Structure 1
Amino acid sequence: MAAKTKKSKWPIVLSVLIPLLAVLTVVILFIGPLFGLHVGDQVREVFQTERTEDGSSYQQQFTEMEQEVVELQALLQEATNELVVREAEMNELQAQLDDATNSETNEEVLTQGTVQEMATGLEAVLKTYEEMSPKRAAALIDEMNEEEAYIHISSMKEQLRGSVIARLPAEKGATFLERLAQEGR
């Protein structure tokens, strides 16, 4: 009879233990969060894979986004490198521009000095023309290049200018008179 009692205890134990485990599981999953136990969320994450509208898993989307971030970082690095190269080119061009500007400024200073020297020299030459005969002055001017000769003629006093132009070859004299008229001298 003792053997029969042992057999009868197992169904009773199982019939009490299984409902007790079920009640305990329900309490942990549904009432546990009220007391700070979030076991249900962790269990759901393990057993459930959420799907997006297109049917792919969030993990797959996350992986794709990570790949896109890596590609964007590579593009950003390329753009940064290109920017560095462009900045170097810009600095080089700026240096060349500064050199050219300094060079032009130096040339202007030299040119201004040269103009002043030429003006002083021209005044001396004009005094020399006044002291020589118009025929001799015309002969000297006829030997100069046209631009330099014009500068000398245009700088002379009107009376001397007329005498010198009258003694120049006709074509050259006409050219000088035409330019003087255009400039209003």
Structure 2
Amino acid sequence: MKLGESMSEKENSHNKIQWFFLVIFIPIVFTIILITVILSLLGFNVIDKAKEFSSNIPIVTEYFSNDDKAVEEVDVVSLEQTISEQQAEVDQLQKEIERKDEEIARLGNEMTQLEQSQIVEAELANQAQQELDNIAKTYESMKPKNAANIISALPGEEALLHLSQVSIELRAEILEEMDSEQAASFMSRLANQ
């Protein structure tokens, strides 16, 4: 029976240990972690407060005070190095910004010049169209035979341009007054435009 009692005592001992971990230890650890996370998210520095609190405990005070001095010395050196690296990076980025600003100014000037040239081209095209309209009005005020003689005397492309500007009725009358081969050539070229 002693063997059975010994096993029963071991099982009771294991059950008590399991009960302690499951019911007391794990929930307390979980609660501490959860509270630490929540306080950290709310902006409360839990680690510094824990160091502050532990600095009042005599044995722990020596551990934290020595550690803080060493960490501060290492931090100062590493922070100075980081600052110098970041300053160099800032200087490089500042130069790049200046270069980009110059490029933006140059592109802005180019864009202004292109806009001005487009305006000039549009004005020239408008003037050319007005001149063609005036030429078409001149042909419309003439007799078809006289207009046909003038258009026949013009170079091919210019004659075709003048013919394309007049009304369809006048174009038909002018082509009727022209030589049939020349009229056929103009009609073919007008159809291909």
TM-score (normalizing by structure 2): 0.53
1:78 aligns with: 92
Query: What is the CA distance between 1:67 and its match in structure 2?
Result: 0.4
Aligned pair in 2 of structure 1 residues 132, 71: CA closer, same or farther (>3 Å)?
Answer: same
1:103 aligns with: 117
How many equivalent residue pairs? 130
2:67 aligns with: 50
What letter corresponds to residue 119 of structure 2 in structure 1? T
Which ranges in structure 1 are unaligned for 5 or more consecutive residues?
Answer: 1-37
Q: 2:144, 2:174 within 8 Å by CA — same for their partners in 1? A: yes
1:63 aligns with: 77
Q: Which of 165, 180, 183 pairs up with 2:190?
A: 180
Q: 1:130, 1:160 within 8 Å by CA — same for their partners in 2? A: yes
* Separation in 1, partners of 2:95, 2:115: 30
Q: Which 4+ runs in 1 deviate beyond 6 A?
A: none
Q: 2:151, 2:162 within 8 Å by CA — same for their partners in 1? A: no
* Separation in 2, partners of 1:116, 1:138: 19
2:130 aligns with: 116
1:168 aligns with: 182
Query: What is the CA distance between 1:117 and its match in structure 2?
Result: 2.6
Query: What is the CA distance between 1:151 and its match in structure 2?
Result: 1.4
Q: 1:138, 1:164 within 8 Å by CA — same for their partners in 2? A: no
Q: 1:138, 1:167 within 8 Å by CA — same for their partners in 2? A: no
Query: What is the CA distance between 1:147 and its match in structure 2?
Result: 2.1
* Separation in 2, partners of 1:138, 1:121: 11
What letter corresponds to residue 151 of structure 1 in structure 2? L
* Separation in 2, partners of 1:167, 1:132: 18
Query: What is the CA distance between 1:121 and its match in structure 2?
Result: 2.7
Task: Report the structure, 1 or 2, having the larger helix content.
Answer: 2
What letter corresponds to residue 93 of structure 1 in structure 2? L
TM-score (normalizing by structure 1): 0.55
Q: Which of 140, 144, 153 pairs up with 2:153?
A: 140
Q: 2:144, 2:173 within 8 Å by CA — same for their partners in 1? A: no
